[in-house]
Structure 1
Amino acid sequence: MQKESKQTAIVVGHTHWDREWRYPIYKNRSLLLEFMDWLLEILETDEGYAGFLLDGQTVCLQDYLEIRPENRGRIEAQVKAGRLWIGPWYTLPDLFPVSGECLLRSLLKGIRYADEFGGYNPIAYHTFGWGQTAQFPQIYESLGIKYAVAAKKVSEERAPHCEFLWTAPDGSTVLASRLGHFGRQNGYFYLHFPVRLNNQYDDNVYAWKWGETGLAYHRADADQARTDYFRIDHEQGYFKENVKAAAQRTWDNMDKTMAQDWRLLMCGCDFSTPNPHLPRMVRDCNEAHPDIEFRMGSLEEYFKGLEERIDRSKVPVVDGELRDGEPCGASANALATRIHIKQLNKKAENVMIRRTEPLAACLFMNGHSYPEKFLEKGWEYLLKAHAHDSINGVTQDKTVEDNIYRLNQALEIGETIYDDTVAALIKRLDLSEFGEKDQLLLIHNPQPRPVREVIRLAVDTPQEENVWAIGAEEADGTPLEVQMISRDEHKQPVHDIEARPWPFLVDRHEVYLDSGNIPAGGYKVVRVVHEKTFWREEEWWPAMRKSKGGLIGTGTHILENENLKVEVNPDGTFDLTDKSNERSITGMHAFEDEGDTGDYWAYYPPCQNQAISSRGFESRIWMEDNGPLSGTICIEKIMRIPSRAEYGKINIQGYGKRSEDLVDMKIVSKLSLTKGARQLRIKTKVENKAKDHRLRVMIPSDIKADFSDAAGHFTVDRRHMVHEVDQAGKHYPEMALRPQGVFCSVSDDQSGLSIVNNCLTEFQLLDDERRTIALTLFRAVRNRICTESRVSAEFPDQLGSQILQTLEFEYSICPHKGSWIEGKAYPEADRLNARPAVMQISRNAAGDLPHSVSLYEIDNDSIILSTFKKAEDEEAIILRIFNPTATSQSTNIRLGFPVKQATMTNLNEVDLATLPVENNQLSVTLEKGKIVTIMLK
């Protein structure tokens, strides 16, 4: 360890630049242009200005150069000179609403984009977002990043010093700093405010004085009156007399550092300027404090000096995610605001990552071109939607509309590429064994394991064939079971690039199909069978349906298959029996509605709250469809709930009461059970007409466990139902609201209950007698943006945050033995998130690919597929898997295409070691918590 004779303060000039937040994208873009023009001028004209940290992202450069393309060379010059530090992120994503794979793609894109300018900042600067994921140390270490600034959000109880060794589930470690009070703004609030503004930020005297503070304007039009005032001149003040005290206070801000003679002062804030006076302030600090050397520098310089001064063996170790309370600091509940954004994002992610990229990658390995540029466009839309304020919708309504547009573009691009890829596959199929006029079904299974599924689909038969009922069979003639739902007549256009659309007159048969076994990561073709024809002109006494019995539904309130039994109760709840261990759970699936007088970031119940249960309202129950393959029971509830919250003239969070005015909230849940399924699928539709409330669905587990498990980023996060109990035995109840990915679960040594989803983000394991899992469906809140701690941007006429619309949710309840591992929670979640897709196709006899094949298979369900895509920089394929369990796991990976070489790479896709491949198969062992990336050539 080294100790200099003089104490040193590394002063880093920086900004935090939200791509959009308080203002929509192009208002922010205008501010960005002013900021970047000014920054470049300062860096080019002031040699004493050592450098500037452009947040942790690179998308702001892309946004700037879209308007100022002529300045690209100026930016490159400053990056290469080591005076402008950019990246490693592309955007600054919020973590918990998006998948781990998307976080990694943002890093890969950010690193490559920064390299175009001369290189990226090799420090994991992640002071944005609300919490830090447990696997970040492994991700950063694999990318060659050794240090992290992680101010949000680790408590002083876990990290008593500023510095800590942050450790991932696999044991990977980075040296991290939580900085001091005010985090990334410690130098800005303590030094900048007194010296430049003659003000103490935290003394509560910071306020605008008309005619004294500066030149400002405000739109006075009636429809613009709620917009902010804007100052349009630059601050000219400089109060040298405040330097000594301000510099000392700033230095003391990091008094809990383990390197007392080496401290980091971050001089920047949200949307802050480059501050051309910063070199002068540094000089004046040195003059006022000759015992401390203040100098402008970089995060890299700071961590290098820190490493030289500390003994790592004495640095506290912090394991796992950084998401400590209190709730406002961790912003625990932004997950459930504007839930429709998160739902659309999950849909786009699933199409892009779980379906489109894997099929395109498999065709690429079979000699087909890869739609690289098209996919890049889709990913750009998707990643830009993940900026932390954008994905959470803690913004004005216009910004939400912009973000929904991006997600819809990503979704459309993903679906379009998938269609094109399927078309390319069909052209390669050899279907000569089928009849020329056969109607065929191509079933694609993107899951890395063979599956058998009951699929709902629509099959068209030509009207001239007068088909009344259809069946299906495997290519070898083995019958597949079909359950009829409906039959209708349609005229369908057939697009032809060399003609006008052809009219195709069809009978459309909507059916359930027992798919039989679908190969892992592959596809198969089945034949549609015409079971019965009819006389189209006949209006009376058509052919009646026949049945073998064995229906899933009994009466109007019971569903039962080989594994589960569901009995619906008069109050709209149901009892669920798991036949594998004869365990029954009663009274499941009640709804609970509470008031919410909080803000975008944190849930606050009003002082005079009303928690209203759906059990108190009448139920309408009916069987919607029923047969040997699938049965569906519908439950309708109309809850009478308060129409809004009443605040009076006080805007304090938590103040107020629920109104006496009531509105109807209609909830319809459809419970579906299919043949052989181990999960009860539920689709819930909510017609929300009320404001200022939170709706949750209550699912008791009857499992005496104190911990829950939830899918996270490349891991499963285990959390206690009560978060951070202090010495007085108190805790923050809202911190027990937990993020979840595709499932949450509770278990003991004997039994478990997992809830899988494709559209939810938040849950809570309640500390009640039944250990109820409460799934948050949505929070409806005011449009109130935290501009500064004492003033808000208020938009009462913008009601998008109240979600006055119809919302739909899909999730499944999976009772099982043992933990989420024994219950195969990830494979069950795949049934919702990577479900098989079906295409009706005609016969192609000129291809070279078989009618059924497995393209990739992972034979261990505890090893999870993260991505299967083309490599970033090479003509190769990337297969990324991870082991979320606490034990070592081995797997065989079988590939359905020729592989000449396989190499283990880091997450940046740099080769580490060669893997043996034999007969297109390789064996891999993953230690606990490990993420493994394999390149296939």
Structure 2
Amino acid sequence: MSNKTAIVVAHTHWDREWRYPIWKTRSLLIEFMDWLIDILESDPAYDSFLLDGQTVCIDDYLEVRPENRERIAALVKAKKLIVGPWYTLPDLFPISGECLVRNLQTGIRFAEELGGYNPIAYHTFGWGQTAQFPQIYRDIGINYAVAAKKVSEERAPNCEFMWTAPDGSQLLTSRLGHFTRQNGYFYLHFPVRLNNIYDDNQYAWEWGKTGVAYHRADEDNYQNDYFRIDHEDGYFKENVKDAAQRTWDNMDKTLVSDFRLLMCGCDFSTPNPYLPRMIADCNEAFPEIDFKMGSLEDYFQGLEKRIDRSAVPVVDGELRDGEPCGASANALATRIHIKQLNKTVENSLIRRTEPLATGLSLLGETYPVGMLSKGWNYLLKAHPHDSINGVTQDKTVDDNMYRLNQALEISETVYEDALAALLKRLDLSAYEQTDTLLLLHNPQPRPVREVVKVGIDTPQSESCWTLGVEDADGTPLAVQEIARDEHKQPVHDIEARPWPYYVDRHQLYLDTGEIPAGGYKVVKVVNKETYWREEEWWPNMRKSAGGFIGQGATQLENEFLKVEVNTDGTFNLTDKPNGRVIENMHSFEDEGDTGDYWAYYAPYKNQSITSRGFGSRIWMEDNGPLSATIGVETIMKVPECAEYGNVKVQGYGKRSERLVDLSIVSRIALNKGSKHLKVKTSIDNTAKDHRVRLMIPTDIQTDFSDAAGHFTVDRRGMVHEVDADGKFYPEMALRPMSVFCDASDGKNGVAVLNNCLTEFQLLEDDRRTLALTLLRATRNRICTESRVSSEFPEALGSQMLQAVDYEYAIYPHAGNWDEGNVYAEADKLNAKPAATQISMNRGGDLPIIASHYAIDNDALVLSSVKKAEDRDSLVLRLFNPTEETQEVSISFGLPVSKAWKNNLNELRGEELLIENGVVNLSVPKGKIVTIEIA
């Protein structure tokens, strides 16, 4: 009589593209899925199969095998094929929290069309787990998780733990045992099917004996992998008893010793048609254990009946433990240009296009569902963990950049269509037919006043020399001229050939005045002075009222900040309101990197080179009362590459004695009224096998850093885990960040805001420097297995031999990050006001100044304003990253009368009171809130 139970789950982990590009992987997927469908349909003993945690595999398969849709749907409905809840399996930290929610929404809906989704958070992908996952999953109705990576035994001594989010939400979670999601595969499958013990590393290919394989031998392909084409038919029953015992013992740290979960699958593993036979033989060998095929749902239902929740240890926050290689800690900065383009797409699509299109849809305009759905499809397919990190062949990186560029073009096209729709509806009767107008759009949930750079065209027939800009009430807005030029511009006309438009193009800085929250306003361009176009000598000279921000070639100063650039290219920053000076900011550090895609590893004979050892060229690039920019060029002499010899061991080798020029150009800009200092930096990378970091000393004595994360701000120490001997992994101190990182002591702080970076470190030096990774250049090696790599030494995409551009800002502030409104300040880089030149339109019904949405508490962060997935209504999502409950009024300047509090899957919950377009809420600490209005 058995008194113990082992739930055996058949599964695979299927990377959409990793070791091989998309269509080679798709070919393997088709072979795998054809085989799996036949097994599930023909073998009643084969209980079920978990198709990872995603649905895109089905989407990809049906694109080639559409005739099998009903077969798959029947298996999903019967819970033989278990899919979802995700659409793709994203890496988490390079993408926004909003994208995680949209991924789940897409995956759940796709799975429900087929018959249902996996109600267990099978979360064994992702290189680190975000702190808010327990809240996200619980909010959509998922109560259990397998998070079999990145949580240490020090934090979770038992297999089971209560994973707890910042708002207090909890998931009963299993980290499984050794080999985690592969515990049954390596311990049971290898001995019984292959007569091998995986962790003894005994197996190796024997030509002509192990199986039938092919290998391309031509000049262009001989470096590629071998491919086996037959199926393994071995079965070694004599190994069952020992293998089953090892598999059972694998989870010996469970709190429920008589009930265990054995995962029989691996990366790209097949369905294993012998699995029911293996389970029967296990039962024969161990009558006291009932081995049976089942699902994760079966396991957690049984676990819930047996476990004492009061004895389950609690694990708070993000899961990102272990050694750097196991945590894939430094892939965040690998092929940084992919992450940069992704952030550009997210900001375009989520922060600008969707809010405007959604607001207009409530005003009667057609919402572009088809276009935006296609854009989101491209974006979500760019997010699988290998794809977004570029830990792949170069061809796959090119494919992923293509997807991101398609998503960006779609977003920008829809945005322009929305602007056109708004223009048609504007009541511009207060203006003259020939007036030149600007439409200023502010996607931030608060009113903003910014200095923006714009290009305005005026007809050459007007011979305009100097421009002015007036607010709707005629109040002049300050401008600062940059340049003037002549152009012939095409004007597209759907009913004619393009019209030539002869213009003078004026580039200038514009003080926008206040733009309403989540809205827009129209301003008028005025011709202040004309000129004689044919005159070559003695043109009109420029006048000035003084008050320039720049002084000489090395100083900038406004109401809040003063900058003095030093001869070595660094600068001293004076925080005037708080009376402090931070010296020698903004240097660059270059180090060797003999690691791989996943982990930074300095060579034993490393050289750490600072830009402060080289002279810099410094110049004032433009200057005026609204904005001034100083350019700094530093050319560092750095080693050309790493020298490895023939040794593949991590860290082996040294930096080359051959040197190359690494050119770094930074443009440091200060605007009137700005509390932060903007910087645009460009690196022309000519070196291999190295890492470049930006160094921002803070002079703040703190042992913690704060960084924007997924619906939260993550506080982390300078080092991660310290073992019993006081040792730790330095590379784990390289931390993820979203739109900012910050160091503060409670009285003062320094934040680095960005729209293009992913990784930083708070250094344990006497100045508590924030070191931000700008790029990693590494070898093109893919970890096929622990003893062998797929290597492409002639493919140099991973070495980042290209120009890379960055935009970020330095923001000194009082108090900690929330007292300094750091999130709101970061919004100015990620949800910038946009200017559009428009001409006269008659007969509109919308005002020339309006707010579609507004949030009156800057402690709360806007995540998205979008159309509801399944209804013609508006959804607004925000979150409270602070430690205090926040009161907020959310105002809608749209024709709405109903409001509901939804879950993250947009199921309606309680109805909310809405009066005069205002919803009042109390938002607890750490809480994500989704509001629907109609």
TM-score by length of 2: 1.00
**CA displacement, residues 749-770 of structure 1 (integer Å, 9 cap, x when unaligned):** 2101111000000000000100
**CA displacement, residues 14-42 of structure 1 (integer Å, 9 cap, x when unaligned):** 00000000000000000000000000000
1:305-316 mapped onto 2 (5 Å cutoff): 305-316=302-313
**Conservation of the 8 A alpha-carbon contact between 2:2 and 2:287:** no
For residue 925 of structure 1, report the CA deviation from its aligned partner: 0.9
**Which residue of the partner structure matches residue 386 of structure 1?**
383
User: Which of 43, 52, 61 does residue 40 from structure 2 map onto?
Assistant: 43
1:103-502 mapped onto 2 (5 Å cutoff): 103-502=100-499
CA distance in structure 1 between the partners assigned to 2:176 and 2:278 by the alignment: 21
For residue 222 of structure 1, report the CA deviation from its aligned partner: 1.5
User: Which of 566, 569, 586 does residue 566 from structure 2 map onto?
Assistant: 569
The residue type equivalent to 1:261 in the other structure is D
For residue 845 of structure 1, report the CA deviation from its aligned partner: 2.4
Instruction: Determine whether 1:595 maps to 2:560.
Output: no
SS, match of residue 19 in structure 1: coil
1:893-932 mapped onto 2 (5 Å cutoff): 893-932=890-929
CA distance in structure 1 between the partners assigned to 2:454 and 2:241 by the alignment: 74
**Conservation of the 8 A alpha-carbon contact between 2:662 and 2:684:** yes
CA distance in structure 1 between the partners assigned to 2:718 and 2:351 by the alignment: 31
The residue type equivalent to 1:861 in the other structure is D
**Which residue of the partner structure matches residue 82 of structure 1?**
79
For residue 449 of structure 1, report the CA deviation from its aligned partner: 0.2
CA distance in structure 2 between the partners assigned to 1:731 and 1:894 by the alignment: 49
The residue type equivalent to 1:696 in the other structure is R
**Conservation of the 8 A alpha-carbon contact between 2:737 and 2:759:** yes
SS, match of residue 224 in structure 1: coil
Instruction: Determine whether 1:828 maps to 2:825.
Output: yes
**CA displacement, residues 330-375 of structure 1 (integer Å, 9 cap, x when unaligned):** 1110000000000000000000000000001100111111111110
**Conservation of the 8 A alpha-carbon contact between 2:465 and 2:528:** yes
CA distance in structure 1 between the partners assigned to 2:426 and 2:313 by the alignment: 59
The residue type equivalent to 2:409 in the other structure is E
Instruction: Determine whether 1:663 maps to 2:660.
Output: yes
**Which residue of the partner structure matches residue 610 of structure 1?**
607
For residue 618 of structure 1, report the CA deviation from its aligned partner: 1.1
CA distance in structure 1 between the partners assigned to 2:189 and 2:556 by the alignment: 67
CA distance in structure 2 between the partners assigned to 1:80 and 1:447 by the alignment: 43
1:518-667 mapped onto 2 (5 Å cutoff): 518-667=515-664
CA distance in structure 2 between the partners assigned to 1:196 and 1:555 by the alignment: 76
For residue 581 of structure 1, report the CA deviation from its aligned partner: 1.1
CA distance in structure 1 between the partners assigned to 2:323 and 2:175 by the alignment: 16
The residue type equivalent to 1:563 in the other structure is F
CA distance in structure 2 between the partners assigned to 1:80 and 1:817 by the alignment: 57
User: Which of 5, 17, 34 does residue 8 from structure 1 map onto?
Assistant: 5
1:63-78 mapped onto 2 (5 Å cutoff): 63-78=60-75
SS, match of residue 116 in structure 1: helix
For residue 310 of structure 1, report the CA deviation from its aligned partner: 0.7
**Which residue of the partner structure matches residue 883 of structure 1?**
880
CA distance in structure 2 between the partners assigned to 1:783 and 1:823 by the alignment: 42
SS, match of residue 240 in structure 2: helix
For residue 5 of structure 1, report the CA deviation from its aligned partner: 5.8
Equivalent pairs: percent with the same residue?
71
CA distance in structure 2 between the partners assigned to 1:749 and 1:369 by the alignment: 49
**CA displacement, residues 566-616 of structure 1 (integer Å, 9 cap, x when unaligned):** 000011100001111111100000100000000000000001000000001
CA distance in structure 1 between the partners assigned to 2:148 and 2:460 by the alignment: 66
User: Which of 839, 844, 865 does residue 842 from structure 1 map onto?
Assistant: 839
Instruction: Determine whether 1:514 maps to 2:511.
Output: yes
1:864-875 mapped onto 2 (5 Å cutoff): 864-875=861-872
**Conservation of the 8 A alpha-carbon contact between 2:2 and 2:289:** no
For residue 444 of structure 1, report the CA deviation from its aligned partner: 0.2
CA distance in structure 2 between the partners assigned to 1:48 and 1:581 by the alignment: 72
The residue type equivalent to 2:293 in the other structure is M
Deviates more, 1:5-14 or 1:398-407: 5-14
Instruction: Determine whether 1:770 maps to 2:770.
Output: no
SS, match of residue 220 in structure 2: helix
CA distance in structure 1 between the partners assigned to 2:418 and 2:211 by the alignment: 59
SS, match of residue 55 in structure 1: coil
SS, match of residue 535 in structure 1: coil
The residue type equivalent to 1:765 in the other structure is L
CA distance in structure 1 between the partners assigned to 2:840 and 2:847 by the alignment: 13
The residue type equivalent to 2:880 in the other structure is N
The residue type equivalent to 1:868 in the other structure is V
**Conservation of the 8 A alpha-carbon contact between 2:2 and 2:288:** no
**CA displacement, residues 368-418 of structure 1 (integer Å, 9 cap, x when unaligned):** 111111100000000000000000000000000000000000000000000
CA distance in structure 1 between the partners assigned to 2:504 and 2:906 by the alignment: 50
**Conservation of the 8 A alpha-carbon contact between 2:549 and 2:626:** yes
The residue type equivalent to 2:650 in the other structure is Q
CA distance in structure 1 between the partners assigned to 2:931 and 2:472 by the alignment: 34
**CA displacement, residues 725-784 of structure 1 (integer Å, 9 cap, x when unaligned):** 111111100000000000000111210111100000000000010000001001000000
The residue type equivalent to 1:902 in the other structure is A
The residue type equivalent to 1:323 in the other structure is R
The residue type equivalent to 2:506 in the other structure is H
Structure 2 residues without counterparts, runs of 5 or longer:
none
CA distance in structure 1 between the partners assigned to 2:473 and 2:883 by the alignment: 44
For residue 95 of structure 1, report the CA deviation from its aligned partner: 0.1
User: Which of 740, 748, 756 does residue 737 from structure 2 map onto?
Assistant: 740
**Conservation of the 8 A alpha-carbon contact between 2:143 and 2:172:** yes
CA distance in structure 2 between the partners assigned to 1:534 and 1:67 by the alignment: 65
SS, match of residue 27 in structure 1: helix
**Which residue of the partner structure matches residue 860 of structure 1?**
857
Deviates more, 1:363-372 or 1:162-171: 363-372
User: Which of 799, 802, 811 does residue 796 from structure 2 map onto?
Assistant: 799
SS, match of residue 728 in structure 1: coil
The residue type equivalent to 1:399 in the other structure is T
CA distance in structure 1 between the partners assigned to 2:288 and 2:205 by the alignment: 36
CA distance in structure 1 between the partners assigned to 2:79 and 2:815 by the alignment: 54
SS, match of residue 437 in structure 1: coil
The residue type equivalent to 2:49 in the other structure is F
The residue type equivalent to 2:192 in the other structure is V
CA distance in structure 2 between the partners assigned to 1:672 and 1:633 by the alignment: 7
CA distance in structure 1 between the partners assigned to 2:249 and 2:610 by the alignment: 52
SS, match of residue 461 in structure 1: strand
**Which residue of the partner structure matches residue 713 of structure 1?**
710
For residue 469 of structure 1, report the CA deviation from its aligned partner: 1.0
